[in-house]
C-alpha cells in the first residue's frame, strides 16, 4: 500500500488557513475537523477519459498536520469519451459498483465524505457533442440515487486547483508548480500568495493525442496544433518556468517511472529528468519497445519491492498501449522543453512524479470540507 502523504495546510488553493510545520491546531479547530488519532475515512469516484476509478483514503491529524493515507482503490475501463450508449451505460454501472464498494467499506464512511466528480477531460469532450454531458449525468444519477451531493463536471482550472491543494506540500506551495497529464487533457498550475491558483489547460492527453497522431512522432498535427498551445500556455503563466520544483501527476508519469525506475516502486516520489523522457520515447518508437515494457528486474533483491515492481509494470502494460506511451512522452517532452527554454544554467529545477497524485483531487475536496468546518467555528 502506498505510503502516507503529509499535507501541511488546510486550504482553498492559495488562500490558506495555515497549519505550519511544528504548529498545532487550536482545540476548537481540532474538534471541528474531528480528525483525532483514529482518523476519518473519505472516498472519491472519478469518471475519467479512460473510465471510472475510486479511491478510499484516511485523513488524520499528526503533529499539527493533515495526513492522507491511501487505503484502497480500483478502476474499470469504460471508454466513456466515446459517448456511445453502451459506454454511458457501462460507466453508470461502474459508478454504482464503486459507490456500493465505498459505502459498504468495513470502516463506515459518512455520506458527506463521499465525492463523485467528472474529470475535465471528459467534460472537454462532452462539450463538443450537444447533450452527451446531460446523458452521462443522468446515467450517473440513476446509478446512485442515494448520492445527494452535486456531481461536479470539473473544469481544467477547478481540477488543477483541487490537485494542487491535495498534492503540493505547503513548504513548496509558492515555489512549486503542478503538471497533470490525463487521458483526455493536460492541466496544471501554481499558487501565488493571497490569490487564486493560476492554471494552464492543454486540450490533449495521452488517449486523445494518441488518436490524432497514431504513434507518429513526426506528426504535423503535433507540431502545428499541439506545440503552439503548449508554448502559449507556459508563456501565459510565468510561474511554470520560474518555480524551482515541478510536481507531476498522471498515468504517463506513473508508467515512465514504473518502467525506468522499478526499484522506486515503494517511494512516494520519483525524480526524473529530460533524459528519462527521451529514453522513453526512443524505446517506445523503436523495435526496442519490449525492452521498455519488460525492464530487467534482476538487480532488485528485496522480494517485497520486486513483487511491487512486477505488479505496477503489469498494470502499466494493461493501461497504455504503444501509441499512448508515445503520445504521453511527446506531451511530457513538449511541456518540459517549454519550461526549460529560457532557464538560466544556475537556476536548477527538479521534476518529481508524485506516486499518490491520483488521490490529489479527492484530497483537495477533503481540504475544502475541513476548511468549511473550520470556518463554521470562527
Q: How far apart are CA 133 and CA 119, in angstroms?
A: 12
67 phi and psi, to 5 degrees?
-110, 125
Q: SS3 of 224, please? A: helix
pLDDT of the chain along its 378 residues, tens only? 344 444 433 344 454 433 333 222 333 344 344 565 678 899 999 999 889 999 998 888 777 667 778 899 999 999 898 999 999 999 999 999 999 999 999 988 988 899 999 999 999 999 999 999 999 999 999 999 999 999 999 999 999 988 888 888 777 888 899 999 999 999 999 988 878 889 999 999 999 999 999 999 999 999 999 999 999 999 999 999 988 899 999 999 999 999 999 999 999 899 999 999 999 999 999 999 999 999 999 999 999 999 999 999 999 999 999 999 999 999 999 999 999 987 777 678 899 999 888 888 887 777 777 666 655 555
Q: Look up the CATH architecture of domain 5-156+364-376.
A: 2-Layer Sandwich (3.30)
Q: How far apart are CA 158 and CA 150, in angstroms?
A: 15
Is pTM beyond 0.95 here?
A: no
Domain boundaries, the chain: 5-156+364-376, 167-357
Which H, E and C letters describe 4-20, residue by residue? CEEECEEEECCEEEECC
167-357 maps to which CATH number?
3.30.420.150
Write b or e for each residue in 234-256: b if 16 or more Cβ atoms lie within 10 A of its Cβ, otherwise e.
Answer: beebebbbebebbbbbbbbbbbb
Enter the C-alpha cell of residue 345: 544554467
Enter the C-alpha cell of residue 293: 515494457
Q: Classify strands 51-62 and 40-47 as parallel, antiparallel or unpaired.
A: antiparallel
The partner residues of 189 in beta bridges, in order of sequence, read: 178, 199
Write b or e for each residue in 59-87: b if 16 or more Cβ atoms lie within 10 A of its Cβ, otherwise e.
Answer: bbbeeebbbbbbbbbebbebebbebeeeb
Q: Judge if 5-156+364-376 and 167-357 fold alike in CATH terms.
A: yes
Amino acid at each position: 500500500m502506498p505510503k502516507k502523504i503529509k499535507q501541511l495546510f488546510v486550504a482553498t488553493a492559495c488562500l490558506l488557513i495555515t497549519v505550519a510545520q511544528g504548529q498545532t491546531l487550536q482545540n476548537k479547530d481540532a474538534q471541528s475537523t474531528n480528525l483525532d488519532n483514529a482518523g476519518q475515512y473519505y472516498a472519491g469516484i472519478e469518471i475519467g477519459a479512460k473510465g471510472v476509478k475510486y479511491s478510499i483514503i484516511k485523513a488524520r491529524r499528526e503533529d499539527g498536520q493533515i495526513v492522507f493515507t491511501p487505503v484502497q482503490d480500483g478502476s474499470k475501463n469504460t471508454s466513456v469519451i466515446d459517448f456511445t450508449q453502451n459506454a454511458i451505460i457501462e460507466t453508470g454501472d461502474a459508478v454504482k459498483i464503486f459507490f456500493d464498494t465505498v459505502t459498504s467499506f468495513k470502516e463506515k464512511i459518512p455520506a458527506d465524505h463521499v465525492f463523485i466528480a467528472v474529470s475535465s477531460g471528459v467534460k472537454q469532450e462532452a462539450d463538443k457533442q450537444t447533450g452527451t454531458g446531460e446523458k452521462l449525468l443522468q446515467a450517473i444519477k440513476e446509478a446512485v440515487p442515494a448520492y445527494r451531493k452535486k456531481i461536479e463536471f470539473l473544469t481544467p482550472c477547478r481540477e488543477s486547483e483541487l490537485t494542487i491543494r491535495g498534492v503540493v506540500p505547503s513548504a513548496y506551495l509558492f515555489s512549486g508548480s503542478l503538471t497533470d497529464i490525463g487521458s483526455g487533457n493536460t492541466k496544471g498550475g501554481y499558487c501565488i500568495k493571497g490569490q487564486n491558483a493560476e492554471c494552464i489547460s492543454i486540450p490533449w492527453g495521452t488517449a486523445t493525442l494518441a488518436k490524432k497522431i497514431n504513434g507518429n512522432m513526426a506528426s504535423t498535427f503535433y507540431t502545428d496544433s499541439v506545440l503552439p498551445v503548449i508554448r502559449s500556455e507556459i508563456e501565459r503563466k510565468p510561474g511554470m518556468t520560474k518555480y524551482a520544483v515541478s510536481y507531476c501527476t498522471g498515468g504517463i508519469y506513473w508508467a515512465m517511472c514504473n518502467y525506468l525506475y522499478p526499484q522506486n516502486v515503494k517511494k512516494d516520489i520519483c525524480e526524473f529528468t529530460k533524459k528519462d523522457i527521451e529514453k522513453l520515447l526512443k524505446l517506445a518508437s523503436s523495435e526496442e519497445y519490449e525492452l521498455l515494457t519488460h525492464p530487467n528486474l534482476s538487480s532488485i533483491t528485496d522480494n517485497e519491492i520486486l513483487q511491487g515492481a512486477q505488479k505496477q509494470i503489469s498494470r502499466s502494460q494493461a493501461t497504455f498501449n504503444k501509441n499512448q506511451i508515445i503520445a504521453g512522452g511527446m506531451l511530457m517532452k513538449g511541456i518540459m522543453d517549454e519550461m526549460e527554454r529560457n532557464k538560466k544554467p544556475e537556476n536548477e529545477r527538479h521534476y518529481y512524479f508524485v506516486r499518490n497524485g491520483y488521490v490529489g483531487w479527492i484530497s483537495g475536496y477533503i481540504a475544502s470540507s475541513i476548511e468549511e468546518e473550520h470556518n463554521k467555528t470562527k
